[in-house]
Amino acid sequence: AGTQNVNELQAILEKQSTGGSRILVFVRLRPMAKREKEGGSRSCVRIVNRREVYLTEFATENDYLRLKRLRGRHFTFDASFPDLTTQQEVYSTTTAELVEAVLQGRNGSVFCYGATGAGKTYTMLGTVENPGVMVLAIKDLFNKIRQRSCDGNHEVHLSYLEVYNETVRDLLSPGRPLVLREDKQVMDLLLRGNQNRTTEPTRVNETSSRSHAILQVVVEYRVKDASNNVVNRVGKLSLIDLAGSERALATDQRTLRSLEGANINRSLLALSSCINALVEGKKHVPYRNSKLTQLLKDSLGGACNTVMIANISPSNLSFGETQNTLHWADRAKEIRTKAYNANEEILQVPESETDQAKLLLELQKEN
């Protein structure tokens, strides 16, 4: 069944990158934390099969097996990952195809969405023992480049940025994208970058992150076209660890904190508006409404594969947040990306690395 599922997804992604399709939406359930177990948390989420999630406020495993019809709701996604799913499996199912597409000169983005503590950073960054999507994607990218004959041609540029309170900061701080020669030091680099992320104590979680972290990997190389002109092929992969999606009111009082909360919502809201505008084929896409969408201008819609991973906790204490996340993810399934001509995209020279650096400087000046 697993292989079938993967083939099915590859078909959808293939369609997404050639003929306009919808955004792929995945759900990942994290394991119950020790602290939650000890506190008497019960599980309110069940991954029914590889695609379906069942959410019910008071169900125990036994109740579910006995009754099969507790009050609750089923949601269906492109894939739903149970709590023991490996990092490698999440990467292979959600992101591996996008890495391949980036080498064909297409852009791709993967967003992790969900409440604080739901597993976004674990999914994106992971740990030294269990590296996440960001690290696995870069390793895979370098492996693929090495397998190609003309690998000396490829330049890989990396930037790791934070959007916090509508301010853009470079987490690696060289002020411009880093030229990456090999993938060995990537985990160290990203862990160091992540330590620079703005985290603060809140009531929900000791280190709730109110910041969005964006890793952008640009692969640039020269190819000869049919008329023997040398053209630049550029593909960009954006991997985004979004700020906690819980409402500001649920975490702390008003004042500064809720202002920050409002800004986070503003970025998340702006992200939804842009995607919706792209879906509806609107002429005006409101990228300028937030720093997050300004940075992702060329990584949404158009020549871009988009993947959403909704992270959820199993605990009944997080029922409300999980319900919100699943509703949001369920809506994201309706988003369609526009059709475009693949060849034209390849032959165009998209925003170059220098343009990207310029944009970054511009955004930092505005702060």
Q: Distance between CA 205 and CA 125 in Å, rounded?
A: 19
User: Which of ligand ADP, Mg ion, none does residue 31 bind (CB under 5 to 8 Å by kind)?
Assistant: ligand ADP
3-state secondary structure of 143: helix
State the nearest-atom distance from the C-beta of 353 to Mg ion, in Å: 28
Q: Tell which one of 17, 43, 56, 121 touches ligand ADP (CB under 6 A).
A: 121
Q: Distance between CA 313 and CA 102 in Å, rounded?
A: 31
193 interacts with ligand ADP by CB under 6 A: no
119 interacts with ligand ADP by CB under 6 A: yes
State the nearest-atom distance from the C-beta of 31 to ligand ADP, in Å: 5
User: Which of Mg ion, ligand ADP, none does residue 193 bind (CB under 5 to 8 Å by kind)?
Assistant: none
- Cβ-in-10-Å burial (0-12, 13-18, 19+) of 285 comes to buried
Counting residues that bind Mg ion (by CB under 5 A) gives: 3
Which strands sit side by side in the sheet containing 52-55, from one edge to the other? 45-47, 52-55, 73-76
251 interacts with Mg ion by CB under 5 A: no
202 interacts with Mg ion by CB under 5 A: no
Q: Distance between CA 59 and CA 38 in Å, rounded?
A: 18
State the nearest-atom distance from the C-beta of 121 to Mg ion, in Å: 3
Q: Are 345 and 105 in contact (CB under 8 A)?
A: yes
Please tell me whether 121 is known to bind a ligand: yes
Considering only CA atoms, which of 235, 154, 164 is closest in space to residue 199?
164
State the nearest-atom distance from the C-beta of 209 to ligand ADP, in Å: 6
Counting residues that bind ligand ADP (by CB under 6 A) gives: 13
3-state secondary structure of 60: coil
Q: Which is nearer to ligand ADP, 80 or 116 (CB)?
A: 116
3-state secondary structure of 173: coil
122 interacts with ligand ADP by CB under 6 A: yes
The token duo for 363 is: 């955004």
User: Which of ligand ADP, Mg ion, none does residue 119 bind (CB under 5 to 8 Å by kind)?
Assistant: ligand ADP
The token duo for 30 is: 């994290």
Please tell me whether 117 is known to bind a ligand: yes
Site string for ligand ADP, 206-245 (x = CB under 6 A): ---x------------------------------------
Please tell me whether 250 is known to bind a ligand: no
Q: Binders of ligand ADP among 25-64, rule CB under 6 A? A: 30-31, 33
- Cβ-in-10-Å burial (0-12, 13-18, 19+) of 256 comes to exposed
Q: Distance between CA 186 and CA 20 in Å, rounded?
A: 33
State the nearest-atom distance from the C-beta of 177 to ligand ADP, in Å: 24
Q: Distance between CA 104 and CA 339 in Å, rounded?
A: 17
Q: Tell which one of 121, 202, 294, 318 touches Mg ion (CB under 5 A).
A: 121
Q: Distance between CA 62 and CA 186 in Å, rounded?
A: 44
209 interacts with Mg ion by CB under 5 A: yes
Q: Distance between CA 127 and CA 254 in Å, rounded?
A: 34
Which residues bind to ligand ADP, rule: CB under 6 A? 30-31, 33, 114, 116-122, 209, 311
Going by the annotation, the residues of the binding site for ATP are 114-121
Residues interacting with Mg ion, by CB under 5 A? Answer: 120-121, 209
